[in-house]
Structure formats: structure tokens, C-alpha cells
């Protein structure tokens, strides 16, 4: 009978599960749940960040969200990239005729999305 233990050992050594920290929660997580249970793959970090915000109201460390804020309603949404943030702003403006402001750490001036006529 072949001894398969060396193979298992080799597998255990591959410990590249990414981790993410949140200083507000004073905790660190690995993303095994996102990878194994949610099959989030490359989006594991984003999935974690969005879930973290949904359940705690804030993003974990090293995540700078795009914020889309309506000037008229108390409505605001946070996104991890520009595209969905812009899409939210444009659809909100389209349906409500409200002006929406987009903000992100990478831009100096907030972007304003005007409702289309």
C-alpha cells in the first residue's frame, strides 16, 4: 500500500488563503468562506467587503469605496469600483431626475451625474 501522507502534507503547505483585516472590528479574517462556500474566486475580497459593509455598516481596511450620494434623498450607496457606482448614479438620476454625486479617494473633485432630459 502506498503511503499517501506526503501528498497530503504537500497540500497543507499551500496556504495562500488571502486575509483581510478591519481595524474598526479589531479583527482579521481569511477568505476561506468566500472562496469555498460562495465560490467567489477572484471576487472574494470584494464579496467580503460588500458583505462586511452590509452587516456592519463599514468597509474593512484597504478598501476605498466609490460613494454615490443623491442630493435629494438620503439615499446613498457604496461600490468597490467606478462602473457600478456610475451605473447606480445614472439609473437613480434617470428614474428620479435627481442629481447624484460620485466620490472616491482617487478623484479630487466629486463627479456630478445630472439627470438626462
Q: How many residues interact with Zn ion (rule CB under 5 A)?
A: 9
Stretch that binds Zn ion, among 7-15, 20-28, 81-89, 105-113 (CB under 5 A): 20-28
Question: Looking at 11-19, 77-85, 92-100, 101-109, which segment touches Zn ion (CB under 5 A)?
Answer: 92-100
Q: Does 49 bind Zn ion (CB under 5 A)?
A: no
**Quick check: 44 and 34 in contact, CB under 8 A?**
yes
The secondary element (H helix, E strand) that includes residue 112 is strand 111-113
Alpha helices in 1-117 (DSSP H): 5-13, 32-36, 44-56, 82-96
Count other C-beta atoms under 10 Å from residue 79's C-beta. Answer: 20
Nearer to Zn ion, 9 or 116 (CB): 116
Residues that bind Zn ion (CB under 5 A): 22, 24-25, 56, 70, 72-73, 96, 98
Amino acid at each position: 500500500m502506498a503511503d499517501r501522507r506526503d501528498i497530503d502534507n504537500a497540500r497543507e503547505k499551500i496556504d495562500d488563503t488571502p486575509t483581510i483585516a478591519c481595524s474598526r472590528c479589531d479583527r482579521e479574517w481569511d477568505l476561506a468562506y468566500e472562496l469555498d462556500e460562495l465560490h467567489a474566486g477572484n471576487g472574494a475580497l470584494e464579496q467580503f467587503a460588500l458583505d462586511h459593509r452590509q452587516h456592519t455598516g463599514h468597509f474593512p481596511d484597504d478598501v476605498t469605496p466609490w460613494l454615490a450620494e443623491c442630493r435629494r434623498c438620503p439615499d446613498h450607496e457604496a461600490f468597490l469600483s467606478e462602473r457600478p457606482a456610475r451605473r447606480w448614479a445614472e439609473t437613480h438620476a434617470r428614474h428620479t431626475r435627481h442629481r447624484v454625486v460620485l466620490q472616491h479617494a482617487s478623484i479630487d473633485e466629486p463627479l456630478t451625474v445630472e439627470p438626462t432630459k
